[in-house]
Amino acid sequence: MLGLLLNKPGELELKELPSTTILQDNEVKIKLIYGGICGSDLSVFKGRLAHATYPICPGHELIGTIIEVGPNSTFEIGKRVVVMPNSYCDECENCRKGRRNICENKKSLGVNIDGGFSEEFIISEKYVMLIPDELPNEKAVLIEPFAVIVHALEKVLITKDTTVAIIGCGTEGLLAMTLAHHLNASITGIDINKEKLEKIRNFFPNIQTGLPEDVKGELFDIVIETAGARSSFEQGVELVKPGGVMVLIGIVPEATIPIAHVVRKEITLFGSIIYNAPCDFQKSIDYLKEESFKVDQIVSKIYHFSDYTKAYEDATSGNYGKILLKFKEE
Ligand SMILES: [Zn+2]
Ligand SMILES: [Zn+2]
């Protein structure tokens, strides 16, 4: 079977990979439909993720159809599934406290264990979830990235008219916007890219948008940082109302903030990493299943996986929302 292999940072190739024929225990073999390219895939590609290992098969936002099952699997052939791409041990202290997202023994597909940008992919059924029939593939491929937002926004209370600033309007920013909009918040989207802001205004006429300089001096109940940039984090802290909350989703390597401001204004900072599987996946599916929950604006382009070079280039450019690799034939 064909699959992508990242030999070392910057060296990605499409090659014939060995295809396992005998499945163990409760493993399932998935024929891929779509794979979403994530910011973390790009970090691994650029060699900017310290815990990444090489060579590695990239890809963790995966949906597909089960085509084979191991002797102890409870899944049925022919069912569509989404992959939960971060392992958890259920034995470490964090897992035992119900925080599988920060499992001490976590392995992440496409980062430090082979991922699934390939025609077929094998994984334990522990890490797959059925996709309900009413969820089309183009929505189902967002279950994983949206689970990140579901998890993050559970740390705060968003109700009608809560003022929310979302910094960074990439995939995660747009998904946060979609959820906050669904919860009737009063939203401001902030990005350095004017075209992205324009698209948001077209899709959500009642969402405010602005460049970072446009929102100077404004204050919000909740600030959500998804850009992962020093400047957006530093500005984000300034934008939080006294007594307000900031949720950090983007991974900012380093920044300098006036701690006295955080203390005096009694600002709460929440870090949020991935999700608790499977519950956050289930919640993500429940939202996406709702007819009124529109995510058409999130996926920008779909490439056949053999066009991976162009797909990675577009994903790296920062000019688009989600870029998908398509594995199924029409
Ligand atoms: Zn992802
Ligand atoms: Zn654990």
Sign of CA dihedral 218, 236, 273, 309: positive
Counting ligands in written order, the one closest to the CA of 104 is 2
Higher pLDDT: 34 or 18? It is: 34
For residue 98, the ligand closest to its alpha carbon is 2
What's the CA-to-centroid distance between 95 and ligand 2, angstroms?
4
- pLDDT of 25 > 70? The answer is yes
Would you identify the CATH topology of the domain 2-146+275-326? Quinone Oxidoreductase; Chain A, domain 1 (3.90.180)
Omega before 205 within 30 of 0, i.e. cis:
no
Q: Which fold has domain 156-271?
A: Rossmann fold (3.40.50)
Q: Cite the residue boundaries of each domain of the chain with CATH code 3.90.180.10.
A: 2-146+275-326
Q: Give residue 216's pLDDT.
A: 97
pLDDT at residue 328 greater than cutoff 90: no
pLDDT at position 46 over 90 = yes
Give 190 Cα–ligand 2 centroid separation in angstroms. Answer: 36
Q: Is 43 in contact with 49 (CB distance < 8 Å)?
A: yes
Cα 90 to ligand 2 centre (Å): 5
Task: Tell me how far apart the alpha carbons of residues 70 and 65 are, in angstroms, rounded to a whole number.
Answer: 15
Confirm if 101 and 273 have CB atoms less than 8 A apart: yes
Q: Where in the chain is the domain with CATH 3.40.50.720?
A: 156-271
**Nearest listed ligand to the Cα of residue 141:** 1
| Token couple for 278 | 């499977």
Task: Indicate if the pLDDT at residue 330 is higher than 80.
Answer: no
Ligand 1 midpoint to CA 314 (Å):
16
Q: How far is the CA of 277 from the centre of ligand 2 (A)?
A: 12
Measure CA 31 to chain center.
21
Residue 11 Cα to ligand 2 midpoint, Å, equals 32
- 329 pLDDT band, cuts 50/70/90, is confident
Using the mean position of ligand 1's atoms as its centre, give its distance from the Cα of residue 145 in Å.
5
pTM of the model: 0.97
Residue 195 Cα to ligand 2 midpoint, Å, equals 42
- Per-residue pLDDT, averaged over 219-224, amounts to 98
The mean pLDDT value of the chain amounts to 96
Which ligand ends up closest to the CA of 110?
1
Average pLDDT, stretch 223-252?
97
Q: Considering every ligand atom, which ligand is closest to the CA of 275? A: 1
Mean pLDDT of 258-274: 98
Any residues with CB less than 8 A from the CB of 240 and at least 6 apart, and which? 219, 220, 222, 223, 246, 265, 267
